[in-house]
Amino acid sequence: MHGLWIIIIILLISSAPLIAVYVWFRLARYQFPVVRFLFTLLAGAAAFFPALIFQRFLNFPLFAGGRVELFFHFFVRIAFTEELSRFLILLIFFWSSNIRTNAAEQPSYNAVKYGAAAGLIAGFGFAILENTLYGAADFNILLLRTITAAPLHAACGSRVGAAAVMFRSSRLQAVLRFFTAVAIHGIYNFMIALPGLPSIAAILVVISAFASSIMTIRGGWENTQHEYQPS
């Protein structure tokens, strides 16, 4: 029973940034129904499991140590696999939810913004599950992960969500957004592993990336919030 309460506390702490985003959506009257919000959150959490499988396949010393091995570990083995997993899950989720555009059409601004918002939520879903597992193993790192890793996954998820919406009609832009997410994720991983100043820089990277995602979702809200209603 004591362990169950620890898990509940970890979930509540890990969910704090997500709750703040949910309140923001409600106050701004963003067209994101509660049921869709929850399913998007679950889709993001589900992406955690394919990422584990991808990482298991890449869990071998490809290079003989040194900086190249560190780069491969942080940017490919972790960042790329997690963003790829998120992208694939969101692609399936958007397809099943009819949030997509025809290959011959450019995605509307609202569709891209909706994809970014969904990706943000999915990123939090991924982070909550990951933080729960890490926090259960070492409670001392939970707060740091809640204020850094959770916004990081949300910011990268937002870019991947937009990429998933754009993939059929604007493939080049989708690829660029995807690899931007991988780059941000990899830079954070690399910096947070180093002591001192790089760790502070990693936090600044997270703040900047998360703020950029929020501005992307919020931009043009007054003129577009009622124009795009996903079926």
- Delimit the domains of the chain by residue range: 2-220
The 10s digit of each residue's pLDDT in 86-133 is 999 999 998 887 655 444 455 555 788 889 999 999 999 999 998 888
The 10s digit of each residue's pLDDT in 158-176 is 999 999 999 988 899 999 9
Predicted TM-score of the model (pTM)? 0.86
Please tell me the predicted confidence (pLDDT) of residue 211. Answer: 93
pLDDT confidence band for 13 (50 / 70 / 90): confident
Please tell me the predicted confidence (pLDDT) of residue 110. Answer: 77
pLDDT confidence band for 228 (50 / 70 / 90): very low
The 10s digit of each residue's pLDDT in 136-163 is 666 666 677 777 888 999 999 999 999 9
**Smallest Cα–Cα separation from 63: which of 78, 74, 52, 73?**
73
In the structure encoding, which two tokens stand for residue 173, read together?
A: 């832009």
Q: Measuring CA to CA, how many Å separate 133 from each of 144, 177, 205?
A: 14, 28, 24
> Do 177 and 163 form a contact (C-beta atoms < 8 A)?
yes
Please tell me the predicted confidence (pLDDT) of residue 209. Answer: 94
